[in-house]
Amino acid sequence: MHIFLTGASTGIGNAIARELDRHFAGSAFFSLVSRRKELLEALAKELDGRAAVYPADLSEPAIAETVLEQAVQEHGPVDILINNAGVQHIDHFTSIQNEDAEKLLRLNYLTPARLMRRVLPTMAERNNGTIVNIASIGAIIPTPYMAEYCASKAALAALATALAGEYKDTQIHFLTVYPGPIATAMAEYADTRYGKGVTSNVPFGTAEELAKEIRIAIAKKKHKLIYPAFYRGADLFRDFSIWLTAHMAPKPK
Ligand X SMILES: NC(=O)c1ccc[n+]([C@@H]2O[C@H](COP(=O)([O-])OP(=O)(O)OC[C@H]3O[C@@H](n4cnc5c(N)ncnc54)[C@H](OP(=O)(O)O)[C@@H]3O)[C@@H](O)[C@H]2O)c1
Q: Which residues are catalytic?
A: 149, 153
**Cα 149 to Cα 75: distance, rounded to the nearest angstrom:** 33
Q: Which of 2, 3, 5, 12 binds ligand X (CB under 6 A)?
A: 12
Q: Which of 2, 3, 5, 13 binds ligand X (CB under 6 A)?
A: 13
Asked if 252 touches ligand X (CB under 6 A), the answer is no
Apex CA 215: angle with CA 173 and CA 9, to 5°? Answer: 105
Asked if 131 touches ligand X (CB under 6 A), the answer is no
* Closest CB to ligand X among residues 85, 119: 85
Task: Kindly indicate which of the ranges 44-52, 53-61, 67-75, 213-221 contains the residues binding ligand X, using the contact rule CB under 6 A.
Answer: 53-61
Asked if 10 touches ligand X (CB under 6 A), the answer is yes
**Cα 151 to Cα 88: distance, rounded to the nearest angstrom:** 11
Go through 159-189 and write b for each residue having 16 or more CB atoms within 10 A of its CB, e for each that does not: bbeebbeebeeeebbbbbbbbbbbebebeee
Go through 243-253 and write b for each residue having 16 or more CB atoms within 10 A of its CB, e for each that does not: eebeeeebebe
Task: Report strand pairing: 51-55 vs 29-34.
Answer: parallel
> In the stretch 133-162, what mask flags binding to ligand X with x, by CB under 6 A?
-x-x--------------------------
A 10 A CB-CB count for 120 gives 18
* Closest CB to ligand X among residues 58, 110: 58
Window 196-235: residues binding ligand X (CB under 6 A):
none
* Closest CB to ligand X among residues 56, 120: 56
Q: Which of 185, 202, 216, 219 binds ligand X (CB under 6 A)?
A: 185
CB of 202 to ligand X, least distance (A): 10
Asked if 181 touches ligand X (CB under 6 A), the answer is yes
Long-range contacts of 63-66 (CB under 8 A, 24+ apart): 64/6, 64/33, 64/111, 64/114, 64/115, 65/114, 65/115, 65/118
Q: Which residues in this chain contact ligand X in the complex, by CB under 6 A? A: 7-13, 34-36, 39, 57-59, 84-88, 107, 134, 136, 179, 181-182, 184-187
